[in-house]
Amino acid sequence: MIFATKPKARFENRAEAGHCLAPLLAARGYTAPVVYALPRGGVPVAIPIAEALGAPLDLILVRKLGVPWQPELGFGAVAEGLDQPVINQEVVAHAALTEADMAPVIARERVELTRRAALYLKGRARLDPKGRIAILVDDGLATGITARAALEALRKRGAALLVLAVPVAAPDSMAALQDAADEVIALETEGFHGGISASYADFHQLSDAEMMALLAPPV
């Protein structure tokens, strides 16, 4: 696990965060890595990283499962390639969630996962992480539940070394992911108290149209 604190209070946007994170990853000297982005927010972060490393870029689709009466609080996540959702039992117990509470959320997010796969992955050649270094990129690490699901999916697919790289992270979440990732890298950890959005001047929610523009092959 690696902690690296960035003295700058905020990133201008996700792309700038990726440009700032890329040199730290390049210095690690990874051999023939594959970069995986968590849509939507992880994609503009991952693009400059993949370019700096000369690495191919792919997506790993994950959806957070929000507590029905507090959607921002994730009790788990579903990910492509995993038959079962990844569940945070502490959140389930704290929120007193029942199977009846969770089932419709899981079903709804699986539908959204399928929709995004049809839209974002259409015509894209998927990369095989088996036996390779897989670098998972997102725009930040809060509770870490979606990152955990993505890491488990990549591990299941045979990645030899799993690296989680984010511009900003909650230190306790980084520590909690030691069992899921081989390395966890973040630029900013000490200024996380305001959440991920507080570390960005522009942290708008990307639309499907923005995603498709980012993923479009260069002309």
Measured between alpha carbons, how far is residue 29 from residues 22, 80, 127 in Å? Answer: 12, 29, 20
Report the predicted TM-score, pTM, of the whole model to 2 decimal places. Answer: 0.94
pLDDT tens digit sequence for 141-182: 988 999 999 999 999 999 999 999 999 998 889 989 989 999
Q: Which of 73, 42, 37 is nearest to 55 (CA)?
A: 37
- Does the residue 18 lie in any domain? yes
Type of residue at 19: H
Do 7 and 104 have their domain in common?
no
Q: Are residues 56 and 24 in the same domain?
A: yes
In a domain, 37, yes or no: yes
100 and 87 both lie in a single domain: yes
**In terms of domains, do 49 and 71 share one?**
no
Q: What is the pLDDT of residues 3-54, one digit of tens each?
A: 555 555 689 999 999 999 999 999 999 999 999 999 999 999 999 999 999 9
Whichever domain contains 14, its CATH number is 3.40.50.2020
Tell me: do 130 and 45 sit in the same domain: yes
Q: Residue 9: phi, psi to the nearest 5?
A: -70, -40
Q: Is 165 exposed, middle or buried (0-12, 13-18, 19+ CB in 10 A)?
A: buried
Domain check: are 195 and 104 in the same one?
no
Amino acid at 136: L
Are residue 93 and residue 132 in the same domain, yes or no?
no
Based on the fold, state whether residues 35 and 130 are members of the same structural domain.
yes
Residue 96 within a domain: yes
Residue 35: inside a domain, yes or no? yes
* Domain carrying residue 48: 2-60+126-203
Decide if 33 contacts 132 (C-beta within 8 A): yes
Q: Is residue 183 part of a domain?
A: yes
The yes-or-no verdict on residue 134 having pLDDT over 60 is yes
How many domains are contained in the chain?
2
How many helices and strands, by DSSP H and E, does the chain display?
Answer: 7, 9
In 3D, which of 30, 47, 5, 34 has the Cα closest to residue 139? 47
Give me the helices (H) in the chain, please. 14-26, 42-53, 89-94, 99-120, 145-156, 171-176, 208-215
